[in-house]
Amino acid sequence: MGSLAVLISLIACATLASGAAGARVELTRAHSSRLVGDALRRDMERHAARRLAASGATVSAPTRKDTAMGEYLMTLAIRRRANCARTIRRIMVFETFTFGSSSPANQARVPGIAFGCSNASSDDWNGSAGLVGLGRGRLSLVSQLGAGRFSYCLTPFQDTNRTSTLLLGSSAMLSDAGVGSTPFVANPTMAPMSTYYYLNLTGISLGTKALSISSDAFTLTANGTGGLIIDSGTTITYLVDAAYQQVRAAVLSLVTLPTTDGSDATGLDLCFALPSPASAPPAMPSMTFHFNGADMVLPADSYMILESGLWCLAMQNNTDGEPSILGNYQQQNMHILYDLGQEMLSFAPANCGTF
Q: Is residue 45 part of a domain?
A: no
Same domain, 204 and 303: yes
Q: Is residue 277 part of a domain?
A: yes
What band does 47 get if pLDDT is binned at 50, 70 and 90? low
pTM of the predicted model as reported, rounded to 2 decimal places: 0.81
Same domain, 132 and 274: no
Same domain, 149 and 256: no
Q: Rounded mean pLDDT of 260-279?
A: 89
Same domain, 276 and 246: yes
Same domain, 199 and 241: yes
Specify the pLDDT at position 12: 30
Specify the pLDDT at position 28: 79
Q: What is the CATH number of the domain that holds 258?
A: 2.40.70.10
Dihedral-angle region of residue 267 (phi above 0 means left; psi in -120 to 50 means alpha; beta otherwise) = left
Q: Is residue 354 part of a domain?
A: no
Higher per-residue confidence, 277 vs 279 = 279
Question: How confident is the prediction for the chain on average, in pLDDT?
Answer: 79
Q: Is residue 60 part of a domain?
A: no
Give the list of residues 6+ apart from residue 22 with CB closer than 8 angstroms, or none: 16, 108, 147, 167, 168, 169, 170, 171, 172
Tell me the pLDDT tens digit for each residue of 282-308. Answer: 999 999 999 999 999 999 999 999 988
Higher per-residue confidence, 110 vs 257 = 257
Q: Nearest-5° angle of CA 251, CA 278, CA 29? A: 75
Q: Is residue 353 part of a domain?
A: no
Same domain, 159 and 300: no
Is 282 within 8 Å of 274 (Cβ atoms)? no
> Looking at the predicted structure, is the pLDDT value of residue 129 above 50?
yes
Same domain, 149 and 223: no
What band does 103 get if pLDDT is binned at 50, 70 and 90? low
> Looking at the predicted structure, is the pLDDT value of residue 69 above 50?
no
Is 58 within 8 Å of 84 (Cβ atoms)? no
> Looking at the predicted structure, is the pLDDT value of residue 181 above 80?
yes
Last residue of a domain, one of 106, 138, 173: 173
Higher per-residue confidence, 59 vs 307 = 307
Lowest mean pLDDT among 55-69, 189-203, 223-237, 329-343: 55-69
Look at the chain and report how many structural domains it folds into. Answer: 2
Specify the pLDDT at position 20: 47
> Looking at the predicted structure, is the pLDDT value of residue 16 above 70?
no
**Pairing mode, if any, of strands 287-291 and 294-298?**
antiparallel
Last residue of a domain, one of 173, 194, 229: 173
Please choose, from the candidates 119, 159, 120, the residue with its C-alpha nearest in 3D space to the C-alpha of residue 355.
Answer: 159
Q: How buried is residue 109: exposed, middle or buried, by Cβ count under 10 Å (0-12/13-18/19+)?
A: middle
What band does 90 get if pLDDT is binned at 50, 70 and 90? low
What band does 14 get if pLDDT is binned at 50, 70 and 90? very low
Same domain, 168 and 196: no
Q: Is residue 62 part of a domain?
A: no
Same domain, 164 and 313: no
Estimate the share of the chain in helix, then strand, then coil, as percent rounded to the nearest 5: 15, 35, 50
Tell me the pLDDT tens digit for each residue of 309-346. Answer: 899 999 999 877 789 999 999 999 999 999 999 999 99
Host domain of residue 112: 1-30+69-173
> Looking at the predicted structure, is the pLDDT value of residue 183 above 80?
yes
Last residue of a domain, one of 139, 156, 173: 173
Same domain, 169 and 180: no
Is 108 within 8 Å of 74 (Cβ atoms)? no
Q: Is residue 40 part of a domain?
A: no
Q: Rounded mean pLDDT of 204-215?
A: 96
Same domain, 77 and 129: yes
Q: Is residue 137 part of a domain?
A: yes
Same domain, 168 and 183: no
What band does 7 get if pLDDT is binned at 50, 70 and 90? very low
> Looking at the predicted structure, is the pLDDT value of residue 114 above 80?
no
What band does 180 get if pLDDT is binned at 50, 70 and 90? very high
